[in-house]
Amino acid sequence: MSSKADYYSILGVARDAEPEAIKKAYRAMALKYHPDRNQGDAQAEDRFKEAAEAYEVLSDPEKRSLYDQYGHDGLKRHGFQGFQGFGDIFSSFGDIFSDIFGGQNARRGPKKGRDLGVELHIDFVESYTGVEKEITIPREEHCDSCNGTGSRSGIFQICPQCGGAGQIVQSRGFFSMATTCSKCHGSGEWASDPCPECRGQGRIRRQKTLAVKVPAGVNTGFRLLLRGQGEAGPKGGQNGDLYVEVAVRRQDSFSREKNHLILEHKIDMVTAALGGEVEAPTVTGGLTTIKVPAGSQNGKLIRLTGQGFKDPSGYRQTGDFIVALTVTIPKDLTERQKELLMEFGEIEREKKGQSPLRGWTRKVGKKIKNVFNG
């Protein structure tokens, strides 16, 4: 188990705290332990990083749900690694630091890119075994020619249109309305010599192919987090994240109930009555032997412990392989088979103290069905 401190305790909030309360608590800690206010204080730097990591998880509904269920280890299994340095923190939460310190510098600095989401379809057997898939996504990437700055020389000037504010404020009577500056796109800076490759944008749209490792046991709706595989941030900012949501295709013979693998398997009425060993298919294409108890009724469940789906988080036990028996009744009987069944029916009635002939023509069909179908 992880020895890291609890995120809720770090921010000093309750486990059912609302998002606004979590943001307020983080703002207070970021203001208190900001490195500019605690220069040379290693302990304050650690607290600052710790609070940022806690806020990143608790402010994101998906990450928070994962943390509530599985803790730090659950986040780690889904690719969460925390921040690498102060640059990552300022890129991710630039809006918060801009609000705290009220400066234009926070707005001008690199910002984290947009998170992306993609759906990945896999086969039923692949959800059982795990699989590695390649996906191709369109995304904004940093321009190689200007290193994502948008400027050929790397020199920027204060935007002449907004004066560095990044916004244009228009007053209409008692009301004021702010809009993003169309010249600098909100950065407050302007490149007089824009990069010809990206036309001053700093980013170019490309197709990116990625390898995605899907763990065994996933089900439809499972989300994988690929940190840093989203779109590149403006002005050289770090990449956002990529969320891969898994969709599992249905399989005709097999189904799933929680972590249990379910198979409906047909057996003949003789095996159901007398018992015996039969072979049943496995989800991976092989065969397994199951023991059918004598007198098995239609719907009888045979459980093979630990042969179901693994839990992708590693916290729950592997499910079972459950074979639901379907007893089949033959449609086209030979004369000899009919005679044997009639004899069987007479013996059954004698066991119950009934006359062999009493009601036979009316009840024989019902009796046979009850015996073999349950």
pLDDT in tens, the chain (374 residues): 456 789 999 999 999 999 999 999 998 988 888 877 777 788 888 898 888 889 989 998 888 988 888 888 878 777 676 665 555 666 556 556 555 554 444 445 567 889 999 999 999 999 999 999 999 999 999 999 998 888 888 888 888 888 887 788 877 655 667 788 887 777 788 888 889 999 888 899 999 999 999 999 999 999 999 989 999 988 788 899 999 999 999 999 999 999 999 999 999 999 999 999 999 999 999 999 999 999 999 999 999 999 999 998 777 899 999 999 999 998 889 999 999 999 988 998 888 775 544 444 444 445 444 544 44
Tell whether 77 and 93 lie within a shared domain.
Answer: yes
**Nearest by Cα to 149 from 119, 184, 100:** 184
Q: Residue 226 belongs to what domain range?
A: 113-156+191-250
**Nearest by Cα to 154 from 126, 125, 189:** 189
Tell whether 51 and 70 lie within a shared domain.
Answer: yes
Decide: 319 and 127 in contact? Cβ < 8 Å. no
The position carrying tokens 């069987």 is: 344
| C-alpha to C-alpha distance for 182 and 161, rounded to whole angstroms | 8
Whether residue 367 lies inside any domain: the answer is yes
Tell whether 240 and 354 lie within a shared domain.
Answer: no
| Mutual angle of helices 61-77 and 42-58, in 10-degree steps | 110
- The total domain count for the chain is 3
Q: How far apart are the first and last CA of the chain?
A: 50
**Nearest by Cα to 236 from 91, 94, 116, 97:** 91
Tell whether 23 and 124 lie within a shared domain.
Answer: no
Whether residue 131 lies inside any domain: the answer is yes
Tell whether 220 and 265 lie within a shared domain.
Answer: no
pLDDT at position 270: 93
pLDDT at position 84: 54
Phi and psi torsions of 36, nearest 5°: -65, -25
Tell whether 213 and 303 lie within a shared domain.
Answer: no
| C-alpha to C-alpha distance for 30 and 66, rounded to whole angstroms | 24
pLDDT at position 70: 83
Whether residue 176 lies inside any domain: the answer is no
Q: What is the CATH number of the domain that holds 196?
A: 2.60.260.20
Whether residue 178 lies inside any domain: the answer is no
Residue partners of 331: CB distance under 8 A and separation at least 6: none
| C-alpha to C-alpha distance for 60 and 55, rounded to whole angstroms | 8
pLDDT at position 100: 53
Burial class from Cβ neighbours inside 10 Å (0-12, 13-18, 19+) for residue 36 reads: exposed
Tell whether 100 and 144 lie within a shared domain.
Answer: no
Residue partners of 367: CB distance under 8 A and separation at least 6: 345, 348, 349
